[in-house]
Structure 1
Amino acid sequence: MTGLAPCTGLDRADWLATTDRLLTALRPWASADHATITPPGDPGGYGTRVDGLEGFARSFMGAAFRIAGTEDATSTELAEWYAEGIAAGVDPGNPGRWVRPGEHDQAKVEAAALSLGLHLTRTRIWDRLDQRTRDRVVDYLAELVGAAVPPINWVWFRIVTQTFLRSVGGPWSRADLDHDLAVHESFVRADGWFADGPERAFDHYAGWALHFYPVIWLEMAAGEERAEELRERYLARLDAFLPQAAALVGADGGPLFQGRSLTYRFAAAAPFWAGAIAGSTALSPGELRRAASGVLRHFLDRGVPDEQGLLPLGWHGAWRPIAQRYSGPGSPYWAFKGMAGLALPADHPVWTAREEPLPVEGGDVIEVMPAPGWLVAGTRSDGIVRVVNHGTDHGREGVLVSDPPLYARIGYSTATSPVLSAAGWEEPLDSSVSLLDHEGRASHRAGFRTLAIGATDGAAHGFSIGRAHWVVPTPGQPDHGSGRIGEITAGPEILVGSIVRGPWEVRLARVEGAGANGPLRVTGWPVAPGGAISHVVDLGGLPEHGVVTIPDATPISATTEIPWRASAGAAQAGRWYAAGVLLSRDPAAVAPPAVAFEAGHAAVTWPDGVTSRVELPEVGHGS
């Protein structure tokens, strides 16, 4: 690969071609009047009418990026086609009209996509709509004024929609704007991070929603007093976040496989395009382009879109269990957020710059991200980025629920998926430290407390403590990312520590207080047979071992293998157990580290002879 794209081979023409392929493939699934697009597949949890609105609104957003940045015959045709759909969608006499925001909450989400698209295509679509259609669009979008929105990233749907309404002389509410901006401030965490609401919900929404929309809004509301007051603050947070986001991309472009709504796939490129739109200097244009194109390249190389040119619910191929309750066949097209860079003209620096390497391509990465409680380890030899988690569970400290697989596991990476089938919801099978009850069921950790996180002697370390508990879930709960409530059986607390360097994590565990009557088990990374190397080795007190094999457990492979180590008999309170946990594609990485405990410290000697000495937290029994 040469020219401006030595890493990915993708130039702006390739991005345009991919967008056009996706948009063209949706046409056969559109209604005759273009108002709805309902891709094939089982209806989502909100029904076919919502699915059709999602398909239209989300693809319109993608078309709008293209129309805004490229003046050609395809953009002209797209503008005409989507204008017809808009007119039909807001026609109250049309049996196939859009579900309205006052009729279903999901329409509030899609209203923002419609508003953003209309803003970007103002001269090509909005200005050419007849007055009756424009009035109907305003009436449709105005149902968000004063409407209830949950205190999560949804506040931005109301902000974006009302900002567009204001720009065309429609109704809007200063009180709504002030309220929603204040709610957004409540999400702010350290170093440019956001939690998606009051829970410890750290995931891709930080980038594809809580950084993306503020940048879009600053452009939509340019010159308005409130936007200009906030501009410097919002862009400083984006600047702080972007280098961390780039450090979480694997050398193959794989995004970190963690958090809900992963079926949006290359929407993970959105924060990098936000950086380009905002003129961020935290990453160079070549770094921004490399990260965004890498994410797209990852999926293009793995059969995305599918042979019909579609984005089914799934990750690479179709895999329905990845969906949340709110996901339908139109939902994956939020992936078009990852095409936002097409709104920038061909002579923009992000398109004329030469790609520059990702952090993991430049050398091994060891980084501490205190806001989500993550220890990040990327290895140049195999391109994998790993996250060891001591701060995220999509819950609250002290609240005992089941562990949500996409949030509460100890390990996430760009090369593995947690077990997402029913078995992985029932108990933590991968990347965990658990006590086993008399039936052999593993305890959960959600509700844990972060004790320490930092770096020393070339390694990153983190410690957390939580009440071991078992959950019999109440049936019929929706899946919006959080753990499940139910009948709780509580056990003793478990203190868990991680010392991370390169492909290895030294995982420490100590049972605090009495009450353990089963063994302590440490499980490793879930991998495909014959794929990446996953080992758990005994570094103290864990002689029992084996491998759990599960079919159809993740969207990455048909079969998943998970190595484990366990104590011989019931776990002993107050003693340290230790395991070496490896994930690598490099056969030379299998030599394990060693650990010794001395005077309140753990001293880890790594395979290359380097020693890291980490202070152990003081935790009293029964704390």
Structure 2
Amino acid sequence: MRKTELSGKQDFQEMMMDILNPLLPHYSEGCARLNIGVTAAHYDQGAVWMEAFARPLWGLVPFHAGGGSSPEFDRIYREGLANGTDPDHPEYWGEPADYDQRFVEMAAIAYAILMQPEIYWEPLTEQGKKNLAGYLYKINEHELPDCNWIFFDVLVNIAMKKVGYPYSEECLARYLDRAEAYYLGEGWYKDGGGDQRDYYISFAIHFYSLIYAKFMDQEDPERARLYRDRACLFAKQFIYWFDEDGPSIAFGRSMTYRFAQVSFFSACLLAGVEPFPVPVMKGLITRHLRSWLERPVFDRDGILTIGYGYPNLLMAEQYNAPGSPYWCMKAFAFLALPDDHPFWSAQAGPLPQLPPQCAMEQGAMILRRYPGHVTAYAPGLYSSQEHNQMPAKYGKFAYDSKFGFSIAKSSCQLHEAAPDSMLAFCVGDYVFMRRICQEYRIEENAVYSKWSPFPGIEVETVLIPTEEGHIRKHRITSSIACEAVDGGFAVSNALGEQAVKEEKETEGLASNSWSSCSVKSRKGEGRGEVIIPSPNTNLLYPKTLIPAVRYQIREGVTELETEVRAAVFGPRPSAQPF
């Protein structure tokens, strides 16, 4: 991967093409399939091929719209769109069914038709246009999940409307109305009928809303204005998710989409929304993209891997196929900006001066900024457990931009459970943690949650951010005697980082050459320790240490208080092997 200076338009164009060019040898003869791996997702192979084919469009389309040229990709996508939607062609993507993954990928194709019809629509034959339009229309004939997926239908219908082909006015109106039921206030939506709030609010609901605002400004000016206004509100809180060096907090599902985390701000620029001065937005986007170039997220052939900070199938979702990570190309929406846009001449500016802490009532968390990193304090709120590792992705006490979070290999042993940022109960031969909260409150300086890790154990936890970390207060009502381990952040123990661990009477400490975390008992029968979790459990670092305090829990009521301190005091030595 060539590392450019990332200043002018050509720098960003080259970066985008450096990411996509390694795909070129892997397109099929008919160009409708992209074969870049052998791992499986829950959907069928036709959808796997369509997904891998479609997702690079999130970067190619704005690249072309901004004046970029890639004749080989142009040819591939003209042929692929024609062949993939031709039922008589061997590379036909297959018939969609209800809740089909193919509908997800239709959004990228609609984006291409909306933004660059002269490349992705007009060169098709009349039969090719008829096949493609007919295939896309199938999204109106099937059920969709009640979540951000409804915007896929919205994009498809406005794309067909723009090119004068049949579309469903009824579906378009119904799904736009349904999206209003997701809105919570302060710029925040929930992702569907449940309570889930995560990156899907930024890189899905807001992203698609801003595309709608850009392309439907004349036909639907009131809704377009509403979407822009909400994006401005959301940006004032979402900017807290990014630290001063560029990374943002690892939180929730779909972490393999990596730098899609910054795509909201790219979509803002695309839609003419500037919640912050252009130099601030350029700096945020630039630092974020550069931070990913410093991580081993590509394989030796330059193909994006499933994982987060490194290749890791353990944290993957059931809907992550080999082509899934290319959702990250949404980050390049800003490439569509014209050459004379101020973004290209602006110097990358620092983050604006922000209060150190932001309580997000509608976002259901408190964000706290610290030197070198940012931490989110969460109540353990999410909608369902149908996706992989949901308790780890939503149920931990704290999520951080530099420490990441860990996922469990099993609940049989503490080191396999990898209980960072969590109170883990050891009952018999198993480890139990917070799965989902029963009640929660977001206060100005505290997050309260009530939860139960195991029948007969009920916990009330209050998280209080401090200048150096946070305090955890637990009130445990238990019908059994057991042990509980209160874990801090996972500290990288990679080769060359000189990681050390200290186990004191009431405190566990782990540190390396650039960061540290300590966990200390302030109330309760606690003993300091450091857990050495199984490799590849943390999203950012393949090997870690987790400082912790082990408590004795007796029958009845037990009150505990734990202090967690975390520090980032230098840059991570990126030259070291992972």
* TM bracket (short chain): 0.7 to 0.9
- The residue type equivalent to 2:520 in the other structure is V
Contact 1:146/1:173, CA 8 A, preserved across alignment: no
Aligned residues: 543
Corresponding residue for residue 464 of structure 2? 499
Contact 2:422/2:486, CA 8 A, preserved across alignment: yes
Query: Which one of the candidate residues 310, 316, 324 is aligned to 1:317?
Result: 310
The 5 A counterparts of 1:18-33 are: 18-33=15-30
Corresponding residue for residue 280 of structure 1? 273
The 5 A counterparts of 1:271-310 are: 271-310=264-303
Query: Which one of the candidate residues 531, 545, 553 is aligned to 1:561?
Result: 545
* Deviation (angstroms), 1:130: 1.5
* Deviation (angstroms), 1:465: 1.6
* Deviation (angstroms), 1:434: 4.3
After superposition, the C-alpha distances for 1:584-603 in whole angstroms (9 at most, x for unaligned) are: 1239xxxxxxxxxxxxxxxx
Corresponding residue for residue 574 of structure 2? none
After superposition, the C-alpha distances for 1:400-419 in whole angstroms (9 at most, x for unaligned) are: x9962111111101112322
* Deviation (angstroms), 1:275: 1.4
Q: CA RMSD in A?
A: 2.5
Moved more, 205-214 or 60-69: 60-69
1:379 aligns with 2:363: no
After superposition, the C-alpha distances for 1:494-546 in whole angstroms (9 at most, x for unaligned) are: 1111111233101111124x524224432211222224312111112142221
After superposition, the C-alpha distances for 1:398-451 in whole angstroms (9 at most, x for unaligned) are: x9x996211111110111232224237996712113444244633435133113
SS at match of 2:174: helix
1:340 aligns with 2:333: yes
Corresponding residue for residue 191 of structure 1? 186
SS at match of 1:39: coil
The 5 A counterparts of 1:543-558 are: 543-550=526-533, 551-558=535-542
Q: Distance in 2 between matches of 1:543 and 1:331?
A: 44
Query: Which one of the candidate residues 101, 106, 113 is aligned to 1:118?
Result: 113
Query: Which one of the candidate residues 141, 157, 161 is aligned to 1:162?
Result: 157
Corresponding residue for residue 447 of structure 1? 437
SS at match of 1:145: helix
Contact 1:428/1:444, CA 8 A, preserved across alignment: no
Q: Distance in 2 between matches of 1:311 and 1:76?
A: 22
After superposition, the C-alpha distances for 1:204-249 in whole angstroms (9 at most, x for unaligned) are: 111100100011012222322xx32312221111001112222111
Q: Distance in 2 between matches of 1:424 and 1:351?
A: 50
Query: Which one of the candidate residues 569, 572, 579 is aligned to 2:562?
Result: 579
- The residue type equivalent to 1:577 in the other structure is L
Q: Distance in 2 between matches of 1:579 and 1:86?
A: 57
SS at match of 2:465: strand
Query: Which one of the candidate residues 204, 211, 218 is aligned to 2:206?
Result: 211
After superposition, the C-alpha distances for 1:470-509 in whole angstroms (9 at most, x for unaligned) are: 3xxxxxxxxxxxxxxxxxxx22421111111233101111
1:255 aligns with 2:239: no
Contact 1:364/1:502, CA 8 A, preserved across alignment: no
The TM-score normalised by the length of structure 2 is 0.88
Q: Distance in 2 between matches of 1:374 and 1:565?
A: 24
The TM-score normalised by the length of structure 1 is 0.82
Cα 1:443/1:497, change in 2 over 3 Å: same
* Deviation (angstroms), 1:77: 4.4
* Deviation (angstroms), 1:165: 1.3
Cα 1:100/1:527, change in 2 over 3 Å: farther
- The residue type equivalent to 2:419 in the other structure is L
Q: Distance in 2 between matches of 1:424 and 1:235?
A: 45
Q: Distance in 2 between matches of 1:356 and 1:428?
A: 38
* Deviation (angstroms), 1:253: 1.4
Cα 1:402/1:21, change in 2 over 3 Å: closer
Corresponding residue for residue 414 of structure 1? 401
* Deviation (angstroms), 1:43: 3.2
Corresponding residue for residue 379 of structure 2? 390
Gaps of 5+ in 2: 494-498, 500-511, 571-578
* Deviation (angstroms), 1:326: 0.9
Contact 1:67/1:121, CA 8 A, preserved across alignment: yes
1:432 aligns with 2:422: yes
Corresponding residue for residue 504 of structure 2? none
Contact 1:29/1:40, CA 8 A, preserved across alignment: no
Q: Percent identity, aligned pairs only?
A: 25
- The residue type equivalent to 2:221 in the other structure is E
Query: Which one of the candidate residues 494, 517, 522 is aligned to 1:539?
Result: 522
Cα 1:207/1:144, change in 2 over 3 Å: same
1:464 aligns with 2:449: yes
* Deviation (angstroms), 1:171: 2.2
Gaps of 5+ in 1: 455-459, 471-489, 588-623
* Deviation (angstroms), 1:572: 5.3
Contact 2:265/2:281, CA 8 A, preserved across alignment: yes
After superposition, the C-alpha distances for 1:28-69 in whole angstroms (9 at most, x for unaligned) are: 110012111121342333243222111111112321111111
Corresponding residue for residue 67 of structure 1? 64
Corresponding residue for residue 357 of structure 2? 366
Q: Distance in 1 between matches of 2:441 and 2:191?
A: 22
Corresponding residue for residue 528 of structure 1? 492
Cα 1:93/1:104, change in 2 over 3 Å: farther
* Deviation (angstroms), 1:163: 1.0
Contact 1:435/1:516, CA 8 A, preserved across alignment: no
Corresponding residue for residue 481 of structure 1? none
Corresponding residue for residue 127 of structure 1? 122
Query: Which one of the candidate residues 196, 203, 206 is aligned to 1:201?
Result: 196
SS at match of 1:378: strand
Q: Distance in 1 between matches of 2:252 and 2:213?
A: 27
Contact 2:405/2:539, CA 8 A, preserved across alignment: no
After superposition, the C-alpha distances for 1:156-206 in whole angstroms (9 at most, x for unaligned) are: 001101111122222222221222112212221231112212223111111
Corresponding residue for residue 330 of structure 1? 323
Q: Distance in 1 between matches of 2:243 and 2:555?
A: 37
